Amino acid sequence: MRTVSRTRMGLAVSMVAGSCLMAALPGTASAAPVEVPLDEVAAPMDELSVIDQVQELIVEDIDLIPDDSPTPDGGELPRPEGSAEIPDSGGEAPDDATETVPGDGGSDETPTIPGDGGSDETPTVPGDDSSSTPQSNDDTPTVPGDEPGDEPCDEPCDEPKSETYEPATRTRLPFTGGDPLPFMAIGLTAALAGAGFFLRKLGRAAEASFRNDTETSS
Amino acid sequence: MRSPVPGYVVSVILVGIGVGLLTYPLSTAWRYTAAQSRMAEAFAATVETSDTPAATDTVPADPAVAVPAAGEPVAKLTIPKLGLDTIVLSGTGRSVLKSGPGHYRETPLPGEPGNSAIAGHRTMYGQPFRYLDKLSEGDEIVALTRAGRFVYKVVEVKSVLPTDVSVIDPTDETFLTLTACDPPGSAARRLVVKARLSD
């Protein structure tokens, strides 16, 4: 009976200590009251700091769009003050050498569709009965998409892009919380429970030894 | 009679788990201290080898210079009123913030024109921004970067929702914005300290 009482006492002490610490969880102990304007309150659940932290941890662990990564869709994003260019985020940036659609109202020097009544300087359709031959002049047809006066590009004509800053993709300010109390409360409970088990075993062993001694002596 | 071994094993395991959980918060502080010590040496080496003007004028961002890789030291932040002296790392990912305050990579570096922003832990991981709420208007924040030493003065301390990312939006004037979770131990809101570059 004594052993059982001791064991129960140890477990009870462990549980009471753990419960007391759990009762002192964040939001009730360390948190100073914060005046929150009613129009800024997103949800009553914001007050439950433990749930908040778990949610934050889950969101950050999933990390679908890392804080420090460029936007995955290559979309155009606002850039910060002082940035020379939006860093290349993987999207195909339009530049001067992009193709124009024939007939899209581009320059007069783009090749016209045969038979469209274009200028005389356009090449004639092979096999037509025109006596004129394509003439070489300054207005020779250019590759679709070429702008008048453009220098030929051996290299991609992308403008140099700055990598000074990353594009702004953030939708939440980073999680910088983390409360030690839950860890300490659970840890203390586990440690006390472990100590209780240990004492229980010691008590049983001592009791068995005592009984053996008593039986032997009697 | 049953063998007492399983009982002892269980108790030892429980005690081990308990001690581990009890010391976890301390281990985050140790990690922070070790990382800061390492980063401080690396940052000091880079600052000493460059010309460090004592002026408080801004320096234009150099488009040719790439953003420092995540986790690299970018500045040394000093707040005399709080006794804070910490190395700021590049990026605000979770692993970075465990080693020290992190610079929002989408904002200019401290000393550059615009709104430079830094996030830091308020609890655990060295809790560098633990007492950020003690700052008030006029308090000094000093940022030492490779470009120089820049003195900011606090103009605003407020609490916002985590989704209010407008606090790190670009600005015409030169600001330094510090963010941390608020209240301590909770992620419900964010404490924001805004400081303007001192003339």
Say if CB B42 and CB B73 are below 8 A apart.
Answer: yes
Q: Would residue B124 be called left, alpha or beta, if left means φ above 0 and alpha means ψ between -120 and 50 degrees? A: left
> Is the Cβ of B11 closer than 8 Å to some Cβ of chain A?
yes
CB contact under 8 Å between A191 and B187, yes or no, is no
CB contact under 8 Å between B121 and A171, yes or no, is no
CB atoms inside a 10 Å sphere around CB B126? 24
Residue B142, φ and ψ in degrees, nearest 5: -110, 130
Q: According to the model, what pLDDT value does residue A204 have?
A: 87
List chain A residues with pLDDT less than 70.
Answer: 1-11, 13-14, 17-167
Distance, in angstroms, between A10 CA and closest chain B CA? 13
The tens digit of pLDDT for each residue in A120-135 reads 444 444 444 444 444 4
Give catalytic residue positions of B.
121, 181, 190
Least Cα distance to A191 among B22, B8, B9 occurs for: B22
Distance, in angstroms, between A151 CA and closest chain B CA? 25
**What's the first-to-final CA gap in chain A, in angstroms?**
22
Report the sign of the C-alpha dihedral through residues B70, B86, B189, A39, in that order: negative
Cα–Cα distance list, A25 to A46, A49, B29 (Å):
15, 9, 20
Candidates A13, A30, A81, A198: best to mutate against B (most CBs of B within 10 A) is: A81
Q: According to the model, what pLDDT value does residue A86 have?
A: 31
Q: According to the model, what pLDDT value does residue B45 have?
A: 84
Q: According to the model, what pLDDT value does residue B174 have?
A: 94
> Is the Cβ of B118 closer than 8 Å to some Cβ of chain A?
no
* Contacts B159 to A, Cβ<8 Å: 34, 36
The tens digit of pLDDT for each residue in B159-199 reads 999 999 999 999 999 999 999 998 998 889 999 999 999 87
Residue tagged 């281990």 (tokens): B27
pTM of the shown model: 0.58
